[in-house]
Amino acid sequence: MKPFVLNNPLIEHKLSIIRDKKTGTKEFREIIGEIATFLCYEALSDAKLEEVEIETPICKTKAKKFNEDKYAFVPILRAGTGMLDGLIKVIPNAKIGHVGLYRNEETLKPVRYYYKMPKDIANREVIVLDPMLATGGSACDTITMLKEDGVEKIKFLCIISAPEGLKKIEELHPDVQVFTASIDEKLNEIGYIVPGLGDAGDRIFGTKE
């Protein structure tokens, strides 16, 4: 399944700000949330609506509503939580799960340390969140764990993606569509996206050196 890439001058403008190393924590965090909101709109373009009858100030009419109880957001700790505010503004009643993974700096492979999901996760469409899709290891491990829990419909949202990570998801999870604001050039020798924006977690939480 081909990735969906946001193609909009406003997104390009926002990306230029968060790529800039001079951008401060507050502005960086806010823009990550804003772009996440745009990604969410696109990811839900195929959502099914339910017809209901309402009454406007003028008359009764039929309208369509979105069933928020069918969805769950799963940020990959810790950087994925930086995207969460942008999504719960759109779907405030969605359930939220968490996956804790860290990257082994020698092998570059993800190590799981936390996994907590809503009890009915198998009955929901799950949107996985992580600002950076680099090697794809954490993303694929998270998707695998969700499938083992019975989740059938999964989407992955990220701000920046690398071709290597996209290829890995396509190979291991071809049924999962990626929604991203940019496909960057490559990974460098230590697994960082080029040109990228640095360590998203450090920049979101102000822990960069």
Catalytic residues: 103, 107, 199, 202
- The residues pairing with 161 across neighbouring beta strands, listed in sequence order, are 133, 183
Token pair listed for 13 = 């403008």
**Backbone angles phi and psi of 82, in degrees to 5:** -70, -20
Cα–Cα separations (whole angstroms), residue 203 to 19, 81, 117, 129, 191: 10, 13, 26, 16, 17
Q: What is the DSSP code (8-state) at residue 22? A: T
Q: Which amino acid is at 165?
A: G
Cα 136 from chain centroid?
13
Q: Give 170's contacts (C-beta < 8 A, 6+ positions apart).
A: 1
